[in-house]
Amino acid sequence: MLSYTFTFLIIALIAAALGFSGVAGTAAWIAHVCFVVFLVLFLISLVSGRRPPVV
């Protein structure tokens, strides 16, 4: 998930440098959404975690 974020961020930066504002805005929005999803899943995995088996 984090690799998608970096990919779309690079695409947004390149598109912005070349003057494609529509593509840059869309790619930046997708990168933002991917990062938020990554953070939510990461926090859920931290909270749930692995618990040792009950003996």
Instruction: Please state the domain extents for the chain.
Output: 2-48
Q: Over 90: is that where the pLDDT of 40 sits? A: yes
> What's the rounded mean pLDDT across residues 15-31?
94
Confidence of residue 1 (pLDDT cuts 50, 70, 90): confident
> What's the rounded mean pLDDT across residues 23-51?
91
pTM: predicted TM-score of the whole model, two decimal places: 0.78
- The residue that leads in pLDDT, 31 or 49, is 31
Q: Helix, strand or coil for residue 35?
A: helix
Torsion, CA 44, CA 47, CA 49, CA 51, rounded to 10: -140
Between CA 6 and CA 47 the distance in angstroms is 25
